[in-house]
Amino acid sequence: MNVAVTTAAEGFPRRAFTVADIGRMIEAGVIHEDEKFELVGGDIVMVAAEGLAHERIKSALTVAISRALPDHLTIGVEATLRLSDTLMLEPDLAVFPKALFRKSTRFVHLDRGDAQLIIEVAASSLAYDKDLKARLYARHDVREFWVIDANSRSTWMHTGPNGDGWSSIEKRGPDDVLTPPALPGFSLRLGAID
């Protein structure tokens, strides 16, 4: 779907949207459910579609995480996460309590600390994910956040959210084994994905 987009006129005020506004726009047909966007600080940010390398890694991670999930957790694949009234993100993968799917809300409503693991697989959005999104997830007390470069298969593992930052950010190569604390049965080497 082709959607008209524009860039902001720097220095001029813009209308800040809320998650409730987005819900009403979807209901009215102004925004279509298949459009890829996020709400960041009240701004609607268009997100580019990703390629084959991205999809291959996301698929392998989905299978591996699903096999390792404890009973009380679930996986959201490109689930729309409402983190606050003006913050709605759509990570590639998110691990959070199953009980959140039982709430009767339009989007998955995550309270601080609910997200055990969030993974962004990036090709064109690597800088955005490592910078702004890392800060946003830290502010929301996501327990662990991974940014994976789909091209090099490198992973930046963020742990210990602390305000706008992380107490630890470790870079792992494609042959290193990835093992998140929330998923004791999970281990994967991105270099082994064919």
* Structural domains counted in the chain: 1
Assess if residue 90 is contained within a domain: yes
Instruction: Indicate the range of 6-15, 28-37, 47-56, 174-183 predicted with least confidence.
Output: 6-15
| Domain membership of residue 181 as a residue range | 52-192
State the CATH number of the domain containing residue 141: 3.90.1570.10
Q: How confident is the model at residue 7 (pLDDT cuts 50, 70, 90)?
A: low
For the entire predicted model, the pTM comes to 0.80
Assess if residue 21 is contained within a domain: no
DSSP the chain: ---------TTS--PPP-HHHHHHHHHHTSS-TT--EEEETTEEEE-----HHHHHHHHHHHHHHHHH--TTEEEEES--EEEETTEEE--SEEEEEGGGGGS--SSEEPPTT--SEEEEEESS-HHHIIIIIHHHHHHTT-SEEEEEETTT--EEEEEEEETTEEEEEEEE-TTSEE--TT-TT--EEGGG--
Assess if residue 110 is contained within a domain: yes
Assess if residue 39 is contained within a domain: no
